[in-house]
C-alpha cells in the first residue's frame, strides 16, 4: 500500500523509503501514541519515507474495532499534527492501521498479536520485518518483552525483529542493570533500540556536525581554551496531571541520566573514527564513563535539588508542587536539579560542566553554552573588566533553534572602546524544515537499522553510575531541598554553585 504523498519535488540527495515492515505499538491508546507516534508516522508518509508495504498494529486494553482505532488516530492527527494534514495522505496511512485488544501481562494477547501479524504480513506482502514499540508504563517493559519471546515473536530467521524501549530506562543503577539483563535474555543487543527523543531533534544532531565538520571550533574545544560549559533544559510547564507518577520519579531520574547526559556526551565526546553507529556510541559512552564520581557526601556540595512553590509563570498563576493532584502534601520530590560535574580525561581536566533542569521556570529553553576563557586584559587596561563581553558559543536546541557566537568589537569613535556583539544563526532562516515531532528521524532510523541515535546498554548504565551517588546522598534526608518560586530562575542555591568560582548562570529568558 502506498502511503506516500503524491506531489512534491524529490531531491536527489533525499533518503529512500524505509524497509517494508509492520509497526506494532504496545500502548496504542495512550498519549504518546496520539501526540507523537501517529503524527510522526504521518510526517514520514508525507515525506514519502514510509515503505509501500507497511502496516501498523496497535495493542491496548481498550475495546475497539479496527475502524474505531483508525477514527481515534484520525482525531489524534487533527488535534496533534505539527503541520497541515493532507486528507489523502492521512487516509492512505490509516487504511493500514489494525487493532488488537488485550492485557500486556496475558499470554493470550500475544497469540492474538501473532495471528494478526500473520494476516497483515500476507495481505501487504511485508515479508516478516517487525518493529515493536513499547509506548507503555516502564513497569511492563520487561514483562512485554518476555511475552514477545514466549510467543516466538522475537526470532530473526528470514526477517528482522526490533524493539524500541522508551525512557525512563530504570529508576536507579540496579534497576537499569536488571532491565538490561532481562531484555538481553530475550533480544540481542542489535535488536534493542533504547530511545531518547532529544536525539531526534535536528539541533542536537547538529552538535556533532558543528564540532567535527568545522576546523574553526574543534581546535579550541578543550581545557586550554574553554572556561566552563552550561547545559540548561528549562520548562515552564508544571507537573500538571502527572503528579502521581512524578512524585515517585522526580526531575533527577526523569531528566538527568537521559536528556542532559545526551547533550553532555555530544558536547564532550572525542571525535569518532567515522559516523557509524558503534563508533559514535562508543565515544559518547566514554565521555559519560569519564565523569568524575565523588562520594555521596561530596555530592551534597555539588548538587542542588529544588521544588517549586506557588508563583506566576508567564503571567499565569501557578500553585505549589505539593498542591498538585496526586502529590504527597509533604513531598520531598525535586522538580529542579542543578549540578557541577567534571570529566576526568585529557581534553576536559579542570573544566566544570554545569547542568540544570526544572519545571515551572521563567521560560522554556534548552541550550548549551560554551564559555571560552577571557582574553588577557593588559591591552585594555583602560577598559573596565565588565565592559569586555564574554566569549560565548550558544547552541540553542529549542524553541529558537540555532547557534550564536558572542565576541568583542570596537565601538565606532576616536577612542578604543569595546562592546559585545553577536553573530546569530537560525535554522528557520536557512532551511525549510518539514513539520516534526522529534520522533520521525528515530522511527525511520530504526526501520533502516541505523542505531547511531539510540543508546547502548553500557551508556545507560554509565549514566546511572553518575546519578546513583546523588540518589544515595538524598535517600532518607528531610533537609537539603531548596525552594523556588514558580516562574523564577530556580533556587538561590543553584546560583551559588557557580558564584563560588566567580561564575554565573545565563539568564533563563
Measured CA to CA, the distance from residue 104 to residue 148 in angstroms comes to 10
Helix (H) or strand (E) holding 74: helix 66-80
| Closest among 172, 200, 113 to 148, alpha carbons compared | 113
Active site residues: 259
Q: Are the CB atoms for 408 and 421 separated by under 8 Å?
A: yes
| Closest among 215, 209, 223, 230 to 392, alpha carbons compared | 230
* Grid cell at residue 348: 576536559
Q: Are the CB atoms for 375 and 407 separated by under 8 Å?
A: no
CB atoms within 10 A of CB 148: 23
- Give all strands (DSSP E) within 359-473, no chain letters: 365-372, 392-398, 402-410, 418-426
CA distances from residue 418 to 377, 380, 401, 411 in whole angstroms, order as listed: 12, 9, 29, 5
Helices within 172-275 (DSSP H only): 173-184, 202-212, 243-255, 261-268
Q: Residue 105: helix, strand or coil by DSSP? A: coil
Strands 161-165 and 130-134 turn out to be: parallel
Q: Residue 207: helix, strand or coil by DSSP? A: helix
Measured CA to CA, the distance from residue 494 to residue 152 in angstroms comes to 51
Cα Rg of the chain (Å, integer): 24
According to DSSP, residue 435 is labeled P
Amino acid at each position: 500500500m502506498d502511503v506516500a504523498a503524491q506531489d512534491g519535488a524529490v531531491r536527489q540527495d533525499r533518503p529512500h523509503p524505509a524497509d517494508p515492515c509492520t509497526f506494532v505499538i504496545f500502548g496504542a491508546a495512550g498519549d504518546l501514541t496520539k501526540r507523537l507516534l501517529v503524527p510522526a508516522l504521518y510526517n514520514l508518509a508525507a515525506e514519502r519515507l514510509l515503505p509501500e508495504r507497511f502496516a501498523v498494529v496497535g495493542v491496548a486494553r481498550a475495546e475497539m474495532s479496527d475502524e474505531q482505532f483508525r477514527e481515534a488516530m484520525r482525531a489524534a492527527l487533527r488535534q496533534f499534527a505539527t503541520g497541515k494534514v493532507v486528507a489523502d495522505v492521512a487516509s492512505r496511512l490509516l487504511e493500514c492501521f489494525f487493532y488488537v485488544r488485550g492485557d500486556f501481562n496475558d499470554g493470550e494477547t500475544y497469540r492474538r498479536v501473532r495471528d494478526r501479524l500473520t494476516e497483515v504480513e500476507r495481505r501487504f506482502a511485508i515479508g516478516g520485518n517487525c518493529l515493536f514499540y513499547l509506548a507503555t508504563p516502564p513497569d511492563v517493559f520487561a514483562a512485554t518483552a518476555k511475552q514477545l519471546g514466549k510467543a516466538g515473536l522475537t526470532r530473526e530467521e528470514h526477517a528482522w525483529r526490533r524493539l524500541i524501549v522508551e525512557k525512563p530506562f530504570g529508576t536507579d543503577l540496579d534497576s537499569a542493570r536488571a532491565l538490561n539483563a532481562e531484555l538481553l535474555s530475550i533480544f540481542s543487543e542489535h535488536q534493542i533500540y533504547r530511545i531518547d527523543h532529544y536525539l531526534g531533534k535536528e539541533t542536537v544532531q547538529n552538535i556533532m556536525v558543528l564540532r567535527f565538520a568545522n576546523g574553526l571550533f574543534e581546535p579550541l574545544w578543550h581545557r586550554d581554551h574553554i572556561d566552563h560549559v552550561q547545559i540548561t533544559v528549562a520548562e515552564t510547564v508544571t507537573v500538571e496531571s502527572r503528579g502521581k507518577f512524578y512524585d515517585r520519579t522526580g526531575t533527577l531520574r526523569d531528566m538527568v541520566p537521559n536528556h542532559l547526559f545526551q547533550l553532555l556526551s555530544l558536547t564532550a565526546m572525542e571525535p569518532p573514527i567515522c559516523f557509524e553507529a558503534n563508533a559514535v556510541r562508543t565515544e559518547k559512552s566514554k565521555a559519560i564513563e569519564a565523569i568524575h564520581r565523588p562520594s555521596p557526601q561530596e555530592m551534597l556540595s555539588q548538587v542542588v535539588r529544588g521544588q517549586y512553590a506557588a508563583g506566576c509563570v508567564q503571567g499565569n498563576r501557578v500553585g505549589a508542587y505539593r498542591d498538585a493532584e496526586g502529590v504527597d502534601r509533604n513531598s520531598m520530590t525535586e522538580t529542579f536539579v542543578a549540578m557541577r560535574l567534571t570529566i576526568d580525561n585529557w581534553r576536559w581536566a579542570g573544566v566544570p560542566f554545569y547542568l540544570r533542569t526544572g519545571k515551572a521556570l521563567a521560560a522554556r529553553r534548552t541550550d548549551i553554552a560554551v564559555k571560552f576563557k577571557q582574553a588577557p586584559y593588559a591591552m585594555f587596561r583602560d577598559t573596565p573588566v565588565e565592559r569586555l563581553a564574554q566569549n560565548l558559543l550558544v547552541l540553542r536546541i529549542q524553541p529558537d533553534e540555532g547557534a550564536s557566537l558572542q565576541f568583542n568589537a570596537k565601538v565606532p569613535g576616536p577612542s578604543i572602546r569595546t562592546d559585545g556583539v553577536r553573530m546569530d544563526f537560525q535554522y528557520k532562516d536557512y532551511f525549510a524544515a518539514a513539520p516534526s515531532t522529534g520522533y520521525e528521524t528515530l522511527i525511520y532510523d530504526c526501520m533502516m537499522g541505523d542505531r547511531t541515535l539510540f543508546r547502548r546498554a553500557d551508556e545507560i548504565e554509565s549514566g546511572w553510575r553518575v546519578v546513583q551517588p546523588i540518589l544515595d546522598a538524598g535517600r532518607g534526608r528531610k533537609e537539603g531541598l531548596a525552594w523556588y518560586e514558580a516562574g523564577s530562575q530556580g533556587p538561590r542555591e543553584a546560583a551559588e554553585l557557580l558564584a563560588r568560582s566567580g561564575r554565573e548562570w545565563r539568564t533563563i529568558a
